[in-house]
Amino acid sequence: MILPITQFGDPVLRKRCKEVKEVTDEIRSLVEDMIETMHDANGVGLAAPQVGIDLRLAVVDVSHDPDCVSFLRVNGEEVSVTEIMPLVFINPTFKKGGGKERMEEGCLSIHEVRAEVQRPGMVDGIFPQLDGSELRIETDGLLARVIQHETDHLNGVLFVDRLSAAGKLMVRGELKRLKGQG
């Protein structure tokens, strides 16, 4: 089922989400709906607060661009992007590394706003799965960026918060307009 995507100005987007304590059938169903919603919106990631749910849960799918990373290790093994997509994770913990990289980002919860965001180029962390297992993922490129973007949502942080001062000035008017619609 395609879910409505929460838009800029909704307070749930500014909350640090609650940890997932138990994976229930309701959570599994939510994940299926989130994946369907993300694909329907042509997104590469979607976090639970973006569908109005206060949980540390996100889905990512960058399989449209299997060459979007220069490396991807899962539990120490080299794998291809398509082998782990869509990636679903709950309560993620990871560290960021590598040099800072700039790339244009957008967000399904902030329609029509795109801007250059600087983020660390790599992530290395633990991504708990619905079945109770954990994936240790080390990667870079678009996948690392999307993981960081979606995890920011779980912490109440939006990509516009990470813009430079000049970037914030450039989008300020559009954000005011969007907030006024909410």
Active site residues: 150
One-letter amino acid of 27 = I
Task: Indicate left, alpha or beta for 100 from its phi (over 0: left) and psi (-120 to 50: alpha).
Answer: beta
Q: What is the DSSP string of 40-108?
A: HTT-SEEEGGGGT--BSEEEE--TT-TTS-S-EEETTEE--GGGSPSEEEES-EEEEEEEEEEEEEEET
Tokens standing for residue 27: 């959570």
Do residues 27 and 57 touch, judged by C-beta distance below 8 A?
A: yes
Contact 58/49 with Cβ under 8 angstroms?
A: no
141 token code pair: 């490129």
**How many CB atoms sit inside 10 A of residue 63's CB?**
16
